[in-house]
Every structure is written in structure tokens, then in C-alpha cells.
Copies of this chain bind each other. A is one copy, B any other.
Amino acid sequence: MKIKNGTSAAILIIGNEILSGRTKDLNGNYLAVELLKLGINVRQIRIVPDEKKEIVGALNALKIKYTYVFTSGGIGPTHDDITADSVAEAFSVPLLLNEKAREMLASHYANGKDDLNEARLRMARIPEGATLIDNPISKAPGFQIGNVFVLAGVPRIFQAMADSILTNLDSGDPIISRTITISKPEGTIAEKLAEIASSFPEVSIGSYPFNINGDLGTNLVVMHEDTALIRKVVAQLSKM
């Protein structure tokens, strides 16, 4: 069931710590919620390891398929931070020391530029042609190139960066979501539900069973950008 809307997005989470299960990803969910409010459908979330080949492959697959791609992670100073290198490769542009990024970084340290050792300077290497994304917390900037937005992995910084760019995105009509709770198990309502769903093929109707202390029920989530249409579907569903 497709949510009809022109503006789409993918989120690419980069990090071995997520794939090993050591760290739970919070950024995908945060951004998905914020993007939906703007009418931008997240169509895929993909988590890949800290390996250039994997990151470049994912970027190339996602950036041609979706309006926007947002990445999380891999822009710090250490050897396993290779997102900027990978994005430069995916866009076939050089990765250059960016003077503005260097100044931003220097402002974070007590001794300014004197504290920028080789490792920290890694964070000022930005693909040619990219626009910087402000990092109000630890200064090392993210960046945008083409339709790809490169954000930090630390959730507090990711969120600050995301909030600063979201207002400028070319978004769709906000997608409205209504949840109806039916006190019957999925299997009882499924046939009628399928009928209603097929009369409104343009509306996304998700069905999510629950079991609260033995009470079986179903949450139905109706999503579309047209409030009147949602109201119609909800009226039909409520009769069940």
C-alpha cells in the first residue's frame, strides 16, 4: 500500500556499532517522524558497516532512487570515520580541506587552530561543491552535496543538524495519520478491512495487532495528505 506523495527520502545509518547490536539506532526513528510531518515519505532505512565499498554502494543506490538521502555517522576524527571520503567517491569529486570548516572546528578548541592536529583536521575535509551544515554542539560540520545530507551519528548532534536543515527542504503536503483502535483481533476484521482498503487504493491503511493482558485488538493506521479522504476511510473502518 503506497502512500502517494512526490517527495521521498532514504536514511543511511553508517556504523559497525549498530550492526553489532552494541548501540541502538535512535536517529532513523527521529528523522522519520520529523520528515513525515513535512510530507516527506521515508521509503527506506539502511544500516551499513564502516566500510567504504559498502557506504559508496548504498549511496549510489539510494541517491538516484529518492528525493533526499540523509546519512548518520562516520564524520568524526578517527580511522573508522570514512563517510566524507565515501560521499566524495560516490559523487566523483575530490575531498578537500575546507577553510570555513577549519575555522568552525578551531572555534571549538581552547587554543583555536593550534589544537587542530591531523586527526581533527580530518573533520574539515569536505567534498568539493558541498555546503556546510552547522553543528551547534561540537562544531565539526556536516554537509550537503546534491541530494545527500551528511549528519553526525551522536544523536544530540544528529538532531540539532537535522532540525537546522529540515525547514529548508522542498517538502510535500504534510501527511496526516489517524489511528483507530478496534477491539477485535486482526483475523476477524481482515476480510472487511481488505475490502475497504481496496476501495481506497491511494490511502495507506496499516493493521497492527495487539494483545494487552489477553485482550486482543487491532490498531488501524490511516495515512494520506488529504484530510477529507482520511475522514471517509475512518468512517468506513469505524463501522467494523
A32 to B46, CA, bound (A): 14
Chain B: which residue is nearest A196 at the CB level?
Answer: B79
Cβ contact within 8 Å between A44 and B50: no
Known: A20-B177, A21-B33, A32-B20. A186 touches B46 (CB 8 A): no
Chain B: which residue is nearest A34 at the CB level?
Answer: B21
Residues in chain B near residue A221, CB distance under 8 A: 16-17, 20, 22
Known: A1-B80, A51-B2, A193-B79. A208 touches B23 (CB 8 A): yes
A-side binding surface: helix, strand, loop or mixed? mixed
- With contacts A21-B42, A24-B29 known, what are 7 further pairs, Cβ within 8 A? A15-B206, A20-B42, A21-B31, A77-B186, A77-B187, A80-B197, A119-B187
**Which residues of A are interface residues toward B (Cβ below 8 A)?**
1-3, 15-25, 28-34, 36, 41-51, 54, 76-81, 117-120, 122-123, 154, 177, 186-188, 190-191, 193-194, 197-198, 204-209, 221, 223
